[in-house]
């Protein structure tokens, strides 16, 4: 194996830059066109084991400009293959803003998925349950999000607009696709999977929230809090992809200051949630 290909850290990738990354990925799987792009979050990478008929498995470190996962619990591999007959492009682990990447780097994999042909974007994450009715191990369908980082200007769409993907001012009124949500509900009911619903807030991290942070988030209507997902969803919606988002509730948010949240707890809950999450995604894929 040679040295790692280039890993630039720009605030903006041009269409040519993005297409060069897409070409590097496509070289591993000639003729493969993904229909669905899927990101598996913290502790949830094992969901990818369901992908049968793997066409290519590519470490992120072999792809030029592809941000690596530096966080324990993220395998850092791109899998191209078929799952219940659907051509899928699965990211086992993701990059987060708190790791030092630019927003453009976080949006890059989603734009590459789109350029390779993906129409659907399924995104998962581990999140803290702010809604007091949620328990660790629950899955939550993301109905909407609050873009804490984006409201302050940290957007993957910052810079010249790439018209090849979408408009300068993309609407976010229906960021999460209603038909996909209905499919997910139907699959959950059929398979007996408990599926909560709610609003996800994307915060910067890496520090977990203080009790006062969490009481504030609860007051403004948040059900689950995490450090990812929203920039990727914004990128996907801008490019016209249809989005399904699911949070795995890994811990109860510490609203009263009486508990301690740890990354170990998040990963352990991920292991518990993996079979249900895999069954849910598989059921939706089978109905696309
Ligand atoms: N807060 C923020 N991000 C998280 C949490 C949390 O409690 N759990 C998992 N990711």
CATH code for the domain in which residue 110 is found: 3.40.50.1580
pLDDT at 42: 79
Residue 71 Cβ inside 6 Å of ligand 1? The answer reads: no
pLDDT in tens, 66-77: 999 888 777 899
Q: Mean pLDDT throughout 41-53?
A: 83
Pair of tokens at residue 188: 């959950």
Determine the residue of 136, 208, 254 to mutate for testing ligand 1's pocket, defined as the one with the most ligand atoms within 8 A of the Cβ atom: 208
Q: Mean pLDDT throughout 13-37?
A: 98
In a domain? residue 22 = no
State yes or no: is 227 an active-site residue. Answer: yes
Question: Alpha-carbon dihedral of residues 27, 33, 37, 43, nearest 10 degrees?
Answer: -50
Residue-by-residue DSSP string for 193-219: --EEEEEEEE---SSPPPHHHHHHHHH
Rounded (5°) CA angle 90-94-98: 170
pLDDT at 69: 84
In a domain? residue 176 = yes
Which atom of ligand 1 is nearest the CA belonging to 226?
3
In a domain? residue 28 = no
pLDDT at 261: 85
Average pLDDT, the chain: 94
In a domain? residue 12 = no
In a domain? residue 262 = yes
pLDDT in tens, 201-240: 999 999 999 999 999 999 999 999 999 999 999 999 999 9
In a domain? residue 278 = yes
Which domain does 275 fall in, by range? 102-160+170-287
In a domain? residue 272 = yes
pLDDT confidence band for 2 (50 / 70 / 90): low
State yes or no: is 74 an active-site residue. Answer: yes
pLDDT at 120: 98
Kindly name the residue from 69, 131, 251, 276 that is annotated as catalytic: 251
Domain count, the chain: 1
Q: Please give the Cα distance from 230 to 144 (Å, whole number).
A: 10
The predicted model scores a pTM of: 0.97
Q: Mean pLDDT throughout 149-168?
A: 97
In a domain? residue 228 = yes
Q: Among the residues of the chain, which ranges form H helices?
A: 15-26, 103-116, 148-151, 178-191, 211-219, 230-238, 263-287
pLDDT in tens, 169-179: 999 999 999 99
Pair of tokens at residue 268: 């352990």
């Amino acid at each position: 194996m040679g040295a790692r290909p280039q890993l630039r850290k720009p605030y903006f990738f041009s269409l040519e830059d993005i297409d060069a990354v897409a070409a590097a990925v496509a070289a591993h799987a000639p003729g493969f066109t993904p229909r669905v792009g899927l990101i598996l979050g913290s502790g949830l990478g094992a969901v990818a084991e369901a992908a049968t008929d793997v066409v290519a498995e590519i470490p992120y470190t072999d792809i030029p400009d592809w941000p690596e996962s530096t966080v324990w619990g993220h395998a850092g591999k791109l899998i191209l293959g078929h799952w219940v007959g659907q051509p899928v492009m699965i990211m086992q682990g993701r990059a987060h803003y708190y790791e030092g990447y630019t927003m453009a780097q976080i949006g890059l994999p989603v734009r590459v998925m789109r350029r390779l042909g993906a129409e659907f974007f399924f995104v998962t994450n581990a999140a803290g349950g702010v809604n007091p009715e949620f328990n660790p191990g629950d899955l939550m369908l993301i109905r909407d999000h609050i873009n804490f980082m984006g409201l302050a200007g940290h957007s993957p769409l910052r810079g010249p607009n790439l018209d090849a993907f979408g408009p300068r001012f993309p609407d976010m009124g229906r960021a999460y696709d209603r038909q996909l949500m209905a499919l997910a509900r139907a699959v959950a009911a059929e398979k007996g999977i408990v599926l909560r619903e709610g609003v996800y807030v994307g915060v910067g991290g890496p520090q977990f929230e203080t009790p006062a942070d969490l009481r504030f988030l609860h007051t403004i209507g948040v059900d689950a809090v995490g450090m990812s997902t929203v920039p990727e969803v914004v990128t996907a919606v801008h490019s016209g992809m249809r989005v399904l988002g699911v949070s795995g509730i890994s811990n109860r948010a510490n609203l009263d200051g009486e508990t301690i949240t740890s990354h170990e707890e998040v990963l352990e809950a991920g292991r518990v949630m993996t079979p249900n999450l895999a069954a849910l995604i598989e059921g939706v894929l089978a109905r696309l």
